[in-house]
Structure 1
Amino acid sequence: MTRKLRVGVIGAGIAQAHLEGYADNSDLFEVPVLTSLDEARGREVVAKHGVGEFTSDLDSLFARDDIDVIDICTPPVPHFELCKRAIEAGKHVICEKPLFGSIAEVDAMAEILAKSDRKFMPIFQYRYGSGLQKMKMLVDKGLTGKPYLSTIETHWWRGPEYYDVEWRGKWKSELGGSFLGHAIHIHDMLCYIQGPVAAVSAHGATLMHKIEVEDTMVASLTMQNGSVAALSVTLGSHKELSRLRFCFSDMTAESVHAPYTFGEDPWTFTSRDPAHQAKIDAALAEYVDKDVSYPRQFQLFHEAVMTDGEVPVTLEQARMTIELVTAAYHSQRTGQVSKLPVTPDHPYYNSWLP
């Protein structure tokens, strides 16, 4: 019988999606406890999702010896300290996006993990849509050819009421705007397919809302693999859309346009060469459907813990998205092309906050 991992959850917002993911894997996980600064909401979530208990005592959560995993689902500012504390308490860690507020914190966490045998997994659940997984399979099978161009669109709508939540829209508490908080998933998917970014030129603005952070941004990228990419993000699209399009020498791939399920089927994979199209179709016919989103990422995390293998999303992979954010804000403010990787001598290594 597979041993269940016992999870302590911090937070009561996006935590509900995590709880649904654990419930879908009830043979692998159980959630005995949840804590939140918002006690009323926390208790409501505990009752709704069948969590064992609510506690307002964060110290007691870290001290429990019957907890294997701490799952951090708070707004971004406390992520680093909570992750550090959990690792030092001997727990495995799962942490929501955006992971941390600087490359310095990412690198500090790498040093902490190097001295520990605990598993650490950032959340990028959108990777685990069947459409994107088929795209990755075709790349891994060598059926895509040389990469040329990627276009990534995050065109969503957020009305003024979205920013009625106290911590949103402020540099100090949200750490960034649409490029960080909303588009980070789809930009992770870009790096998942095309690898690291080499250079960024970005332009951002606050056009729709009375907030400190940007609600609109465009960026042009050079990837380390030699291809180029164009990113666009807005929270002012009356018709919401998310789209990934990859042009390779041997095929072109395009995602569905659904704003919040853009990693899932049906993607299109097209070659102008009928013989090569037949190879693509044959590979796709062999694809085995799996669970998607949080349930699939949690399944792979459980497997990594049980086998002492690599977690499905690593700290190094999450670093790519934080580097992209760092470089984009640097380019936006300086008017210069920002080169990657971001190293300790970079002016925004310790923080991109203005």
Structure 2
Amino acid sequence: MSAKTPPFRVAIIGTGGIAHAHARALAELGDRAVLVGVADVDRSRAEGFATEFGASGVYTDAADLLAAETELDLVHICTPPQTHATLAIQAMRAGVPALVEKPTVLSLAEMDELVHVNAETGVPVLTVFQHRFGPAALRLRRLAASGALGRPLVATCETLWYRPDEYFDVPWRGRWEVEGGGPTMGHGIHQFDLLLAVLGPWALVSAFAARQSRPTDTEDVSIALAQFDNGAVATVVNSVVSPRETSRLRFDYEYATVEVEHLYGYAESDWTFTPAPGHEDLVPLWAADAEPDVTSGHRLQIEAILDALEAGREPEVSIAEARRTMEFVAATYASAFRGLPVAAGEITGDDPFTRSMDGGAVPWAPVKEVVA
């Protein structure tokens, strides 16, 4: 990639709730980024958003925005999940890197289409996985990669959240065809993406999923056991039926345990570092470069993306990394609904779980009548 010079010209497609987090993050970056255009099918909502955040261009169609704003450096896609693939492809074909809210797409088939267009155009498509970019997570990844912590042995990843029945009144929530899945796809994905970023490629998943109480087509709870290429094993729990909400990650290495417990964003104080006996010399390494006043969130990832664009580097989180996380989602569903372990790389071709996360195999789905 060729280096670009700030201020970066940015647009946002979709001006609902999560778009506000993107716009506030851009505003916090000061003169480095300028929001030049917004698009939303609801023009009045787009106009209100543009007024609030100082965007000059207002559009009701993403194609019109991409055609009119010819010098964009980055476009944020903040629309419901079923639109992500189409909009990301439009952006890439227009030559504009796209930052897509999670989940990137609804299926591995859509993800592979993005991979194809990315290879064809050379234009990045990125996924919002902001928890990778907090200072403590970056420090953990550096220490783990250096070997200072020894081998990773066991990990725990829990997203125990609570969403009342009314949460699912929004038409696209809790439906396979428009959201892609339940808490495995839309809630816990942030935590286990960080798990994958720290532990590296996964090898095998064995999972269970259930619809315990929420009025959804999808699961409201899933539990997965995962093996990794490096020999580590992990449990991953995703829930939207848990009244005491928490997000928790724990990594047990040969020489230390590293933990974080937070809810929607972590600070330095949310992390705990416990050296194994005889390895107390690791404590100063963990404490080095701590940034106690910084909380993980959209700003840190967007800032890292702009740094990469300015340096001419490939920004994160790349389509290859995001695909690994999405394949973990598909494997969780496939294992849960088939009752069998799923290996990395196993879901390919015409496998139903390539085409959709439910794979046509949801045990609580109503039986469709066959018309003669």
Structure 2-normalised TM-score? 0.89
**2:19 is equivalent to residue 12 of structure 1:** no
Deviation of the 1:16 alpha carbon: 0.7
Of the candidates 316, 322, 334, which is equivalent to residue 338 of structure 2? Answer: 334
Return the alpha-carbon distance in structure 2 between the equivalents of residues 187 and 174 of structure 1.
Answer: 18
Deviation of the 1:47 alpha carbon: 2.2
- Identity rate, percent: 33
Of the candidates 55, 61, 65, which is equivalent to residue 57 of structure 1? Answer: 61
**2:210 is equivalent to residue 205 of structure 1:** yes
- Write the mapping of 1:1-354 to structure 2, written as runs, cut at 5 A: 2-13=5-16, 14-64=18-68, 65-255=70-260, 257-262=261-266, 264-274=268-278, 276-278=279-281, 280-287=282-289, 289=291, 292-341=296-345, 342-344=347-349, 346-353=351-358, 354=360
RMSD: 1.9
| Matched residue count | 351
Change (3 A) 1:264 1:182: farther
CA contact (8 A) 1:242 1:262 kept: no
For the residue of structure 2 that corresponds to 1:277, the secondary structure is coil
Change (3 A) 1:99 1:57: closer
CA contact (8 A) 1:11 1:34 kept: yes
Structure 1-normalised TM-score? 0.93
CA contact (8 A) 1:128 1:263 kept: no
Return the alpha-carbon distance in structure 1 between the equivalents of residues 73 and 143 of structure 2.
Answer: 36
Return the alpha-carbon distance in structure 2 between the equivalents of residues 328 and 195 of structure 1.
Answer: 17
Return the alpha-carbon distance in structure 2 between the equivalents of residues 264 and 74 of structure 1.
Answer: 31
Return the alpha-carbon distance in structure 2 between the equivalents of residues 113 and 100 of structure 1.
Answer: 14
Return the alpha-carbon distance in structure 2 between the equivalents of residues 347 and 211 of structure 1.
Answer: 21
Change (3 A) 1:66 1:272: closer
53-62 or 281-290, larger mean C-alpha shift: 281-290
For the residue of structure 2 that corresponds to 1:109, the secondary structure is helix
CA contact (8 A) 2:268 2:290 kept: no
Return the alpha-carbon distance in structure 1 between the equivalents of residues 277 and 304 of structure 2.
Answer: 36
Give 5+ residue unaligned stretches, structure 1. none
Q: Which runs of 4+ in 1 moved over 4 A?
A: none
Deviation of the 1:350 alpha carbon: 2.6
For the residue of structure 2 that corresponds to 1:41, the secondary structure is helix
Change (3 A) 1:246 1:173: same
Change (3 A) 1:208 1:291: closer
Change (3 A) 1:200 1:297: same
| Aligned amino acid, residue 285 of structure 2 | A
34-43 or 181-190, larger mean C-alpha shift: 34-43
Give 5+ residue unaligned stretches, structure 2. 361-372
CA contact (8 A) 2:136 2:290 kept: no
Return the alpha-carbon distance in structure 1 between the equivalents of residues 149 and 309 of structure 2.
Answer: 33
Deviation of the 1:190 alpha carbon: 0.6
Deviation of the 1:292 alpha carbon: 3.9
CA contact (8 A) 2:268 2:295 kept: no
Return the alpha-carbon distance in structure 1 between the equivalents of residues 269 and 135 of structure 2.
Answer: 6
For the residue of structure 2 that corresponds to 1:78, the secondary structure is helix
